[in-house]
Amino acid sequence: MSTFIFNHRVYYVSSSDDGTVLIALNVKIDGNDYINWFDTVKDRIMKIGKIIDDNSEHFVFQRSDSQAKGVYTFVPMTLNLYNEKVKSKVLIPQDFSSEEQMLKAFEETKNNAW
Amino acid sequence: MYRIDNGGSLTFRAQGKPKEFPSESIPELKNMLNPEFSAGQVFAGLTEEELKVQAEQLVANLSDEDIETIVKQSGLDEEQAKTIQTGLIGRKHFLVTRFNLKQKSVERIPIAIEKLKEQLEQLSTLELRPRVGILTDTDKIENQEIDIIDASDIGRYEINFKLTAHHWKTVLANLRKMRDSQNPDFIFSKSTGFSESTGENTIYYTKTAKPLSSTERQKDIVHRYHEDNTFRVASALTIKKGNILIKISTAGESDFGYYGHNRSAFGVVHIEIPNEDGLSSEEMEEKINNIFKDILQVETGLTTPPLEAEKTYKKARYAWLHKLDSSELVPEEVSSKLTREEVISGYFTFVEKDAHKKYQQISPYAVYHSLCSPSTLPKLIRAGGLLSTHERYRRGLLFSGLSSSKDLESGGGDSVFTRLVTSEGVKGRSTLSGVASNDGTIIFHPRILDRTDWYAYSSDNYGKTSTEEFSRRQSPRQVFSEQENSGYNHSNEQMFRCGISTNDILAIAVTDEEGLINLRHVLHIDGIDTLNDRPIEEMIVIAKTHDDAINISGGKSENLMTLAKFLREDPDRVLEIEIQPITDLIDNLHHTTRMWIDYATTIREYDSSNEEAYEYITPNRVSNRLEELLNLMNTNLIKYIQDHYRDPKLFKIPEKNKMELLEKIRLLLKSVGDFIEILRTRKADMVLGDSLDFFEHKIVEIETQSVSFINSIKEF
């Protein structure tokens, strides 16, 4: 299994099997077995069973934790994705005039999660 | 002169040996009346009625809070203080039951309000509202506890708690009947949906703001409820009682869109009491008491939970933690082993003392929590511990609007998350992976598992509390057997209700020496020198493997590198690490300047219409970069020292680094000179045009300042 480099600052995460995922920062593959990320509130860690698809813009894996076998998709966060899929599900929804502004606001959550 | 022998007292026998001090009973009520003992010969004549009168006086005049204060002021160590406080409060409640006393609820709110005031100063820098917990009720309020929050920044007190699932449904159904029958005693909010002017029909949490005068508050009121400042938690059935709003969550059953599904809002009651001039805390207490009885159908009002109710609840909690099918399966002696403790400021739960020692016998372990940024460490220390999302939000800490609300939806938002690693789980494969990072990993005291309010999953489940998921949670024994049988899974999780106190922090682990120094700086800047009465230098430690973390948890960390040890044993390396940010800054500036020179040379030698080069060397960019350089020469070194050291005298640059630094600065200044020279020769066709004079002026300024900058380095 290769090590994947997640070089985008923020990802939109979706899974038809798991409604708890939404946003990912600091995405890393740890020890080739686990994927972990910060979801703006806490760290998430999942065991990777199978990588279904990957390229620089798209990463899909199937989870392999005891009772959780869902499929998860990571795509870089864009303003469109934010407005369509994420905005209504954050604490205090905001409008952004640029992608940079939006990314910075997501990154700021790292300093406030404790 | 007579000397009176006081005999035994509290945890001591008459001859000074230790004795049991149960909170569940008062054996002395029998022993001291038994004429076979010497004390009995004195007290045997006391009648039941006389005992009752004394008990009545004591219960009426001594509040739980009084006991807490007296014990706090006694100077006893933490362990002893806990035993005595629990014993005294428990015994007071025993008297209530034993003599069938009516317990007055008076003064619970006034005392709570005093406690809120005490917290104001400590929390002011955090924008976190003070909060205290009051124990009350038998079986209708979750955890037999309500919380009072001082929201005076928006002109009110807020009371929050959760009704138990069954009672929540009953109350909502009854209140709706009253609303439909237009009962004149109950005024229901008539508006529908969220109202920005009044905030009715919605439970919402608002950001903490600076205190305002009453006039300012009136002007600001719409802004307060504005969506930029509020988090809408759930729709609610709202009742007005005078100017008090009582909001009962209808989460899960409403048409409130996305937020209607917040499991963390199930059962929530949120009462808003305007902080009016002239409303005494005693009057407030009476109003709250009536609301409890008349509206929320909690007949006992604000009285403390009676002993029997507490016993029942203890068994239920124990059964819940250990996944027993019924409270009847809980061994009888459990109720005497569990004591109610304030595990984090304002929040109580039952604790089974030393349960963690049994778990350690199964396998040594560490419970840990990874920070996502070192900058969060001072904040959580100031707040008194890690707080759950729900706890922070309802206390006004809504600083990061873009945080996902998924954990509130799953129900995990009511808890703080940890992970756990056991020796058995990592046998033969103990590595760094999964535990430590240089952002900091908190390792907790193993006694944290004595708490009875936590649940666990074998893998990341986001703390879900839906019925289906909850049935799959692990009991403490399952947590350990899972790791023994299937190995340690990095993604396992434990959820502790409300928060985890800083008292339970044993160490903060990082992976290398740079991590040690960085965390030290982060804490020092915030003025934090000690934690749990220990210097922070002893608490910050390098953990490279799971076994290191488990050893720290088990108190066997003498072989690990702590910050204190590192400072003592390798001062040169410490200074090298400390000077690194300045070196990096100079390198970065030098790199950029060389890049400019390359661009400027390209223009001169080849093609002045080179768009890429023109785009790069814009007047604005050059100006910004020169300004940055000037800042470095002017203030950056001093600022760096001020940011990292409250005592700049502690800052020293090692000789070899000093030489290296001076050489780097010399090269940087030379590069800047080269750059300006190239620009000067190309002035006619450079995009910078007239700006060049301004830049030349800046360069002179930089050169002048660099002299004092270089001198300041030589001095350190």
What is the rounded CA–CA span in Å between residue B449 and residue B434? 20
**Testing the interface with A: which of B226, B433, B491 to mutate, by most A Cβ within 10 A?**
B491
Residue B221: band (very low, low, confident or very high) from pLDDT cuts 50, 70, 90:
very low
- Assess whether B371 and B256 both reside in one domain: no
DSSP three-state, residue B530 = strand
Q: Using a CB-CB distance cutoff of 8 angstroms, which residues of chain B are in contact with residue A67?
A: 458-459, 472
- Assess whether B525 and B497 both reside in one domain: yes
Instruction: Among B70, B103, B136, give the residue marking a domain's end.
Output: B103
Average pLDDT estimate for B293-317 = 87
Going along B512-667, which residue ranges are E strands?
Answer: 530-531, 534-535, 540-542
Residue B61: band (very low, low, confident or very high) from pLDDT cuts 50, 70, 90:
confident
Amino acid letter, B378: P
- Assess whether B5 and B91 both reside in one domain: yes
DSSP three-state, residue B49 = helix
Interface contact A65-B491, CB threshold 8 A = yes
- Assess whether B340 and B405 both reside in one domain: yes
Stated pTM of the model: 0.80
CB proximity B460 to A under 8 Å: yes
Is residue B351 assigned to a domain?
A: yes
- Assess whether B191 and B120 both reside in one domain: yes
Average pLDDT estimate for B262-280 = 87
Is residue B232 assigned to a domain?
A: yes
- Assess whether B210 and B244 both reside in one domain: yes
Amino acid B497: pLDDT: 96
For the four alpha carbons of B334, B335, B337 and B343, in that order, the dihedral sign comes to positive
Residue B437: band (very low, low, confident or very high) from pLDDT cuts 50, 70, 90:
confident
- Assess whether B132 and B249 both reside in one domain: yes
Amino acid B483: pLDDT: 94
Average pLDDT estimate for B519-540 = 91
Structural domain of residue B45, as residue ranges?
A: 1-103
Which CATH number belongs to the domain containing residue B639 in this structure?
A: 1.20.58
Residue B418: band (very low, low, confident or very high) from pLDDT cuts 50, 70, 90:
very high
Instruction: Among B566, B590, B623, give the residue marking a domain's end.
Output: B566
- Of A15-29, A48-62, B540-554, B684-698, the range with the lowest mean pLDDT is B684-698
Classify burial at B700, counting beta carbons within 10 Å of its beta carbon; exposed 0-12, middle 13-18, buried 19 or more: exposed
- Residue in chain B closest to A101 (alpha carbons) equals B402
- If one counts every other C-beta atom within 10 angstroms of the C-beta of residue B288, the result is 26
- Assess whether B99 and B112 both reside in one domain: no
Is residue B311 assigned to a domain?
A: no
Residues 6+ apart with CB under 8 A from B551: B557, B559, B560
What is the rounded CA–CA span in Å between residue B539 and residue B506? 7
Q: Which residue has the higher pLDDT, B161 or A7?
A: B161
Average pLDDT estimate for B232-244 = 86
Q: Cα distance from B433 to chain A (closest Cα, Å)?
A: 7
CB proximity A2 to B under 8 Å: no
Instruction: Among B36, B68, B103, give the residue marking a domain's end.
Output: B103
CB proximity B198 to A under 8 Å: no
CB proximity B566 to A under 8 Å: no
- Assess whether B504 and B640 both reside in one domain: no
CB proximity B587 to A under 8 Å: no
Is residue B310 assigned to a domain?
A: no
* A73 alpha-carbon distance from chain centroid: 8
Is residue B1 assigned to a domain?
A: yes
Q: Is the pLDDT of residue B604 over 70?
A: no
Interface contact B459-A105, CB threshold 8 A = no
What is the rounded CA–CA span in Å between residue B500 and residue B492? 18
Q: What average pLDDT is seen over chain B? A: 82
Residue B194: band (very low, low, confident or very high) from pLDDT cuts 50, 70, 90:
very low
In this predicted complex, what is the ipTM? 0.93
Picking from A66, A109, A114, the nearest residue to B386 by CB comes out as: A114
- Assess whether B524 and B633 both reside in one domain: no
Percentage of chain B modeled with pLDDT above 90: 32
Cα torsion through B698, B703, B705, B709, rounded to 10: 140
Is residue B309 assigned to a domain?
A: no
Q: Cα distance from B397 to chain A (closest Cα, Å)?
A: 9
- Assess whether B286 and B323 both reside in one domain: no
Q: Which residue has the higher pLDDT, B184 or B87?
A: B87
Residue found under tokens 């009253």 = B178
Classify burial at B584, counting beta carbons within 10 Å of its beta carbon; exposed 0-12, middle 13-18, buried 19 or more: exposed
Residue B309: band (very low, low, confident or very high) from pLDDT cuts 50, 70, 90:
confident
Picking from B402, B410, B489, the nearest residue to A20 by CB comes out as: B410
Amino acid B664: pLDDT: 83
CB proximity A81 to B under 8 Å: no
CB proximity A3 to B under 8 Å: no
Average pLDDT estimate for B121-136 = 85
Q: Is the pLDDT of residue B199 over 70?
A: no
Residue B606: band (very low, low, confident or very high) from pLDDT cuts 50, 70, 90:
very low
Picking from A44, A89, A113, the nearest residue to B376 by CB comes out as: A113
Domains of chain B: total: 4
- Assess whether B329 and B275 both reside in one domain: no
A26-72 per-position pLDDT tens digit: 998 877 688 999 999 899 999 999 999 887 678 999 999 877 789 99
Q: Residues B376, B381, B387, CA angle at the centre, nearest 5°?
A: 75
Q: Is the pLDDT of residue B256 over 80?
A: no
Chain pair A-B, CB pairs under 8 angstroms: 140
Average pLDDT estimate for B606-625 = 63
Q: What average pLDDT is seen over chain A? A: 87
CB proximity B406 to A under 8 Å: yes
Interface contact A94-B402, CB threshold 8 A = yes
- According to DSSP, residue A51 is labeled E
Q: Which residue has the higher pLDDT, B131 or A55?
A: B131
CB proximity A84 to B under 8 Å: no
B393-410 per-position pLDDT tens digit: 899 887 666 777 788 888
